[in-house]
Amino acid sequence: MNYHDPVDPMLKQFLKSRAQDLVIPNTVENAVGNALSSLSDQKVNKRFPLKRWRWAAAVVAFFFILSAVSILTVPTFAEIFRSLFAKNNPDIGLMRAQELGLVLNPHINVKDKGYTLVIMKLLLILPE
């Protein structure tokens, strides 16, 4: 309601007079009283959704930082991760296989129907 409205005092007075004339049955009063008394006995759980979002964001940030640190510090993960983004990054596993003599250089070059297949290195898998 607007306090500068001249109809407000008249409306309030009208509503008060109508409320005084209104008779509420006892059954309704008893039902309302029972409902209100049961509400006061219940414990109201206050929810803090903002705190839940903060906890969720903190957990996500923690796992993100943990995974980033583990990927960048564990040597095998770090090599795989760096090889995805680096240009001319040598394959560490292939270099180790070359040191052991498990890689052959067959220099196969085949052309067919405009396509060229070049095999530069071949990894040998030895049976156990």
Concatenated DSSP letters of 109-126? EEEETTEEEEE--EE---
pLDDT at 15 over 60: yes
**CA 113 to CA 75: how far, in whole Å?**
43
Which residues share a beta bridge with 112? Answer: 115
- List phi, psi (to 5°) of 80: -65, -45
pLDDT score of 59: 94
pLDDT, tens digit, 9 for 90 and up, residues 64-119 = 998 888 777 777 777 777 777 777 767 777 788 888 888 777 788 899 999 998 88
Q: For residue 116, which of 105, 124, 125, 108 has the smallest C-alpha distance?
A: 108
Mean pLDDT of 122-126: 69
Distance CA 83, CA 91 (A): 8
Structure tokens at 112: 């067919």
Cα–Cα distance, 29 to 32 (Å, whole number): 5
> What pLDDT does 40 receive?
55
**What is the pLDDT at residue 6?**
64
The pLDDT value given to residue 3: 58
Given a cut of 90, whether residue 60 has pLDDT beyond it is yes
0.85 surpassed by pTM: no
Tally helices (H) and strands (E) across the chain.
5, 4
Instruction: Specify the DSSP class assigned to residue 96.
Output: H
pLDDT of residue 37 exceeding 80: no
